[in-house]
Structures are given as structure tokens and as C-alpha cells.
Amino acid sequence: MLTLIIAESALETIPESLWNHPAIRKLSKTRRRHPNSILLDRSYHHVAMNKLENNEKRGRPDIVHFALLEALGSPLNKEKLLTTYVHTVQDVTIQVNREARLPRNYSRFVSLMEQLFQVGRVPPNSKEKPLLVLKHQTLQQLIKEAKTSHLLALTRSGRPKTLEETISNLAGFNKAGVLVGGFPKGHFTQAVTELADEVVCIDSEMLETWTVVSRVIYEFERALSLPKKRLSETRSSS
Amino acid sequence: MLTLIIAESALETIPESLWNHPAIRKLSKTRRRHPNSILLDRSYHHVAMNKLENNEKRGRPDIVHFALLEALGSPLNKEKLLTTYVHTVQDVTIQVNREARLPRNYSRFVSLMEQLFQVGRVPPNSKEKPLLVLKHQTLQQLIKEAKTSHLLALTRSGRPKTLEETISNLAGFNKAGVLVGGFPKGHFTQAVTELADEVVCIDSEMLETWTVVSRVIYEFERALSLPKKRLSETRSSS
């Protein structure tokens, strides 16, 4: 069982300090929505973001989008052995139902996230288990809730170790957890790495979030011999 | 050295048979562009695509987008050990410069592809090596040009074998090639699998293109002990 947390993710609605920026006011008028219900996106709000604090780590919803598609489409997830959370740079967390089929199209993903930030869950009124639930909580609170027994953080500032070795150790724990950064540049804040039991660097260069997510999950599957098990089912059922 | 070909990809401009569909005519008017310079996209042209031949395999530019991001961002590519091509369902091929930094934003990727389909290369007038070059050629012609010495095709209709075993064999060849399907549903046409030296199934369920691309590249890196080599460089340079 693996708990994946995409942490300090660059996913948020346009922050109050930008609401009066001319480009944002124009956008708000065109879209007929208040900026607090529009996702911050560097592709479109680059100029407005210039003066935003910590801006190199913010405004990249595409990172969460790709990373979630990698996670939810994995055999590990299909076997119900993966639990996925998103934690954002503004201390919002998103619990992702493993059966959620997220939109492949980016604009539709953005609309879904905007609805989630407004209503707190999607779909808003379903009687069944929601696909996504939003909470205002810190990473520390989320980790406590997820009850991981051993938490690994992957970051370039960690101890150099191959992913193979790292994950094969991790898979020995009953409720293993892993933190992968959901931002485009920079490092985890110290408060984040202090929450981890182990802090590891898996490559000499920065790797993209979706690449790390995909590799972590695949190594975890390998550690459980899942590829072989699933193929032998194919043989016996065909 | 690995040659990756994303084959029969769901990437094309709106085909002539749809140009007179009311939804497409309206779109063409709004965007002030002829449909032959707009990418076919199921997210927007779902209804118009209903009567299109073979439509379940077409109109998903996001698949090529994600798959290319996985390929170009990989350590294997950074080490200049990966060559990436896209082949489309309409027998167009795209040669991807390994140093291309593709837009992360989907709309910008679509604009880039539309320009590529119109002009045949991007950037259009650069004196330097272009980032993307388009050719009208079959997969067979592309493979001949790429001069692979052993070609693997991954498809659910292949022989069940773990990816680990498959790629560790493949890495023994001097110019290894792999075909991964760039379409959302269905199988390679027979003509495609007949071009391959080996046809393998790596999982009991359909996996998404970007997931397969990411895993193939990672296994190839492992077969070359690249993760260890790159980490030891970190140690010696730090």
C-alpha cells in the first residue's frame, strides 16, 4: 500500500494581492467570474505574477494534472494499492478518489479544479463518494490523517540514492508514504522535509513531477512483483 | 541508444470529410481559420467526429503532448541516448529535436502543432536545427530512415512478458527501437505489428501512452545503469 502526496503543489486560485492587477481585472470581466474562482496559471498570468511572493513555485496547474493522470492510470492504482493526495502551496489538500476519471483535456481539468475550489467537492451534490474533496489543512495534518508508517521525501537536496534501492526499502513498510514536489522550480521548504523520515535525491538534475510520480509508482509495483502477477492473470484468463 | 516511435498517433488536422459539418464550419468562422489548419480534438469535435471512419483512434493531441513531455524530460534524453519520433494515423511523421522544450500548456502545444502541420517545421525560419520537422511518409519509411537494428512493438495483442525482461533484452542491441501506440483505444493495425521484430504485451489492461513511454525509458535507463552513473556524478561534483 503506497500513499502518494504531491506536496506544495502550484495549484491555487488567483490570490487577493493580484485581484486589482489590470490584466486580472480584464480576465475577470471577460470570464464573468471573480478572480477568486479562477485558477492561477503562469501561461496566462505571467506578467501579473511578476511581483507575487514565491512566484517561481506557483501557478502551474498542469503539473498536478499530469501527475494525477500518471497516478490514477497506473496498475498500482487499479489494484487499489495506491492512495493519492494533493497538498498545495497555500495549505489546501485534495483527497483523490482512486476511481476518479479525470479529464484528459487541460481546460476541462481547470474547470473541474475551479469548481472544487469553490464548492469543496466534485461532483457537488452526488450521494455517492465524491471524486475530489478539498480541505483547508496543513501537510502535517494531512500526514497525520493518512497515518503513514514511514514517509519518504524526494528532493534534490536529499541523500543521493537510486530510486530502485529507495523504493525497495520503502515497500517493506506497511503504510509507506512518499512526498513528491508539485512545483516547477526550487525545493521543498524546510518544514516539509522535516516531516519526512527519509530525504532522498534520485537524480543529478531536477526531474519533472509527473516523471518522478510515474517512476515511484512503477518501482513500487516492481517491489511487489505486480507486473508478473498481472501478466500471469492474463495468461490464466485467456 | 533508444529510438522511440509513438506510432499511429491520434494527431491530425480536421479531415476534409468534416469540413462541411455545421459545428466545424462554426468553429472555423470563430477562429478565422480554415479547418485544414485546426487540429482535430475529440474534446471539442466530439459530435462532428461521430461518423468519422476509425474515429475511436483519432483526435487526441493530448496523448502526443504528454508522451513527448515524458520522453524529452527524461534523463535518457538529457544524456543524448534517446531519439524520438511521432508517426500519425494519417502517415505523417514528426522528427523531434531532443533539445526541443515543448510548451507545458496544452493550448500552446496545439498552436505549435497547427503551425507545424501548416509550415512543415518549427520554428519556421530559424537557421539553426529546427525543433520539429514534419514529413509525409509511412511508418515503414520512417523505420528505414531511423535504421533500428531491433524493433519492439508494445501492444495488448503481443506475447505476455514483463517490461523489465523485455527492455533488458532490447538494451543489448546497438540501435534498439520501440513502437508505442499514440491512440486512446484499439490496437495497432496488422501492418504496424508486422514491421516489428518482437511484439510484447506488458500488462493485463490497456495502459496509457504516456505511462508506457515513461516506463520504457526508465527501464532502458536501468538497463544501462544510468541512475547510478548520474548519481555518482552528483557526488563527485558536489
Tell me how close the Cα of B105 comes to any Cα of chain A, in angstroms: 7
Nearest to A162 among B103, B161, B228 (CB): B228
User: Which residue type sits at B139?
Assistant: L
Residue type present at position B156: R
SS (H, E, C) A199-227: EEECCCCCCCHHHHHHHHHHHHHHHCCHH
B41, B106 contact by CB (below 8 A): no
For residue A111, count other CB atoms closer than 10 A to its CB.
14
Q: What would you measure as the largest C-alpha separation in chain B, in angstroms?
A: 63
Contacts of A80 in chain B (CB under 8 A): none
Residue B150: strand pairing partners: B176
Closest partner residue to B73 (CB to CB) among A41, A106, A208 is A208
From first to last of its 238 residues, chain B has per-residue pLDDT tens of 999 999 999 999 999 999 999 999 999 999 999 999 999 999 999 999 998 999 999 999 999 999 999 999 999 999 999 999 999 999 999 999 999 999 999 999 999 999 999 999 999 887 888 999 999 999 999 999 999 999 999 999 999 999 999 999 999 999 999 999 999 999 999 999 999 999 999 999 999 999 999 999 999 999 999 999 999 986 665 4
The closest CB to that of B204, out of A70, A106, A231, belongs to A231
Interface of B with A in 160-189 (CB under 8 A): 160-164
The C-alpha of A106 sits at a distance from chain B's nearest C-alpha, in angstroms, of 6
At A47 the pLDDT is 92
- Distance (Å, rounded) from C-alpha A54 to C-alpha A49? 10
As given in the structure block, the three cell numbers for residue A232 are: 500471469
Q: How far is B230 from chain A, CA to nearest CA, in Å? A: 6
Spatial contact of B212 and B170, defined as CB atoms under 8 Å apart: no
Q: Decide the pairing of beta strands B132-136 and B176-181.
A: unpaired
| Yes or no, beta carbons of B160 and A204 under 8 Å apart | no
CA-CA-CA-CA torsion sign (B180, B182, B183, B188): negative
Across the interface, which of A203, A233, A237 has its CB nearest the CB of B75? A203
Minimum CA–CA partner of A63 in chain B: B104
Confidence class for position A235, pLDDT limits 50, 70, 90:
low
Mean pLDDT computed over A48-68: 95
**Which of B188, B135, B227 has the alpha carbon at shortest distance from B6?**
B188
Output the DSSP codes for A50-106: TTSTTGGGS--HHHHHHHHHHHHTSHHHHTT-EEEEEEETTSEEEEE-TT----SSH
From A107, A108, A227, residue closest to B162, measured CB to CB: A227
Sign of the torsion angle spanned by Cα atoms A99, A105, A106, A111: negative
pLDDT of residue A125: 82
Residue B169: φ, ψ to 5°: -65, -50
Chain B residue with the nearest C-alpha to that of A228: B162
Which residues lie below 8 Å from residue A43, measured CB to CB, with a gap of 6+?
A62, B103, B104, B105, B107, B108
CB A146, CB A3: distance < 8 Å: yes
Give chain A's mean pLDDT.
Answer: 95
> Does A208 touch chain B if contact means CB atoms closer than 8 Å?
yes
To the nearest whole Å, the CA of A80 is away from the closest chain B CA by: 14
What are the two backbone dihedrals, phi and then psi, of residue B158, each rounded to the nearest 5 degrees?
-85, -175
Residue A74 to residue B211, Cβ atoms within 8 A: yes
Pairing of strands A82-88, A92-96: antiparallel
- Measured between alpha carbons, how far is A33 from A38 in angstroms, rounded to an integer? 7
Whether the per-residue pLDDT at A237 is higher than 60: the answer is no
Residue A186, pLDDT score:
93
A152-166 b/e (C-beta count within 10 Å ≥ 16 → b): bbbbbebebbbbbeb
Residue B94 pairs in a beta bridge with B86, B134
Cis peptide before A123 (omega within 30 of 0): yes
Cβ–Cβ under 8 Å, residues B144 and B175:
no
Nearest CB to B230; choose among A106, A107, A203: A203
Q: Do B69 and A69 touch (CB under 8 A)?
A: no
Residues of A in contact with B78 (CB under 8 A): 205
Closest by Cβ to A105, choosing from B62, B163, B215 = B62
Q: What is the pLDDT of residue B237?
A: 56
B19 touches B94 (CB < 8 A): no
> B74 at the A interface (CB within 8 A)?
yes
Angle at B213 between CA B224 and CA A207, to 5 degrees: 70
B20 vs B131: CA distance, rounded Å? 33
Cis peptide before A130 (omega within 30 of 0): no
| Residue carrying the nine cell digits 498517433 | B9
Q: Which residues of A touch B41 (CB under 8 A)?
A: 105
Contact A69 B203 (CB under 8 A): no
pLDDT reported for residue B238: 47
Q: Which ipTM score applies to this complex?
A: 0.95
Residue A119: CB atoms within 10 A of its CB come to 14
Which amino acid appears at position B58 of this protein?
Answer: R
User: How far A158 CA lies from chain B's nearest CA (Å)?
Assistant: 11
The DSSP letter of residue A13 is B
- Chain A CB contacts of B45 below 8 Å: none
Task: Work out whether strand A132-136 and strand A92-96 pair parallel, antiparallel, or are unpaired.
Answer: antiparallel
Whether residue A111 lies within 8 A of chain B, CB to CB, comes out as: no
| Closest of B2, B17, B117, B106 to residue B62, by C-alpha | B106
DSSP B146-165: HT-SEEEEEEEEEEE--HHH
Q: Which three cell numbers stand for residue B80?
A: 543524448
